[in-house]
Amino acid sequence: MQSKAKVIFHVDMNMFFCSVAVIKNPSLKGKAFVCGRANTLKGVVSTASYEARKYGIHSAMPMIEAIKRKPDLIVVESDWNMIKQYHNHFLSVLRDYTKVIEVASVDEAYCDMTDISKYRNPLEVAKEIQVRLVKEYHLPCSIGIAPTLFLAKMASDMKKPLGLVVIRKRDAYDMLKDLSVADIYGIGKKTYPILIENGIRTISDFLDPTNKVKILTLVGQNTYDYVISHLQGNSSNVVMPNRYAKNESISTMTTFDSHISNESEILFELRGLTRELISRLNKANMMTKTISITLRDESFKTMTRSKTIKYTDDFYDIFDTVSNLLDTYYEEGTVLRLVGVGFSNLKDKKEALAEEYNLFTFESFIEREEKVKEMLKELQDKYGTDAIHIGIKKDDN
């Protein structure tokens, strides 16, 4: 962190898909409706209007459940061309105040407003953005203002619709302490239920030093350190317009004609993409060290997660990593429209092997080889020399 605090905005469009639907069809205003696949009980709710939310209907809910809660619920299909158009309108307003914008998804963005805040009050700027978006494009939004990206995101989630919340580093604890751990951005939907089940229900509970040992047994050191640092305002304050642009990387992805939510089907698609990239690696005589997957849902929310391992070009090593990433970060039932696989930290194979297999790893490798040979000799002595031998397994998958 730099010594001088930055001014970061997180601008989060309220009910963006529903807002665009109302712009297209004004008769929907004030009615209980959802965006999703019309004329079918399959799929999930993409976004629910505030009127629909009064019935407990929410995004990612199975459509059949939403209809059970309100049988006369209106279901409209999103106009993706119109959504892209209004996404661009949204960004065009932000660009009138700063050029340092990081697009997080189709309906949210981080903005570094440090420069304009030197001569204008940030609250005044934020309110002006809100008014302009409503007046010019009929788009309501909430804005969080903080010295870090994480706190700005937490702030924008605290008040909707048309919320405007400021979190200063010195005020972070008092403002966040009573929130549920489920509200901690990035903690993971598989993690917070475990915390709650074990008595770590609020952010105050998580930050309590007397709970540290218990929390470490539940989520591990890395997650604990990550959350503590972010909640205390010690995380990144750098807005990066090209955050996801990678050097020395390759990637591939596929968009589904029919969106899928079956984990086996998703894994099958990722498997094919992994093979495609490995073929490209082999042709370039390179190896990779960082594996990533990209998942994009029906509402265009995109998530990319990665893991760094030893340099490899082995299908089984890489696909095992891909599988683990999916198992860790994919929420069961989420309907996906796109999946992707990426390799980064690429190196020429000779250079990579020279880096990975130093004297110590080479000695370890030789030691393992000797043990395998001893085991092989014992088996051959017992069952005959033709019963088992060292060979190369062909990849017939």
Residues classed as catalytic: 108
Q: Which residues contact 206 (CB under 8 A, 6 or more apart)?
A: 181, 184, 195, 200, 215, 227, 228, 231
Indicate the helix (H) or strand (E) that contains 140. none
What is the three-class DSSP state of 20?
helix
CA distance 72 to 213: 50
Indicate the helix (H) or strand (E) that contains 213. helix 212-231
CA distance 90 to 109: 9
CA distance 160 to 396: 53
Please report, to the nearest 10 degrees, the dihedral formed by the alpha carbons of residues 244, 247, 253, 255 taken in order: 40
Give 330's DSSP letter: P
Q: Residue with structure tokens 């999946």? A: 339
Biggest alpha carbon–alpha carbon distance for the chain: 86
Strand partners, 312: 288
Within 10 angstroms of residue 254's Cβ, the number of other Cβ atoms is 14
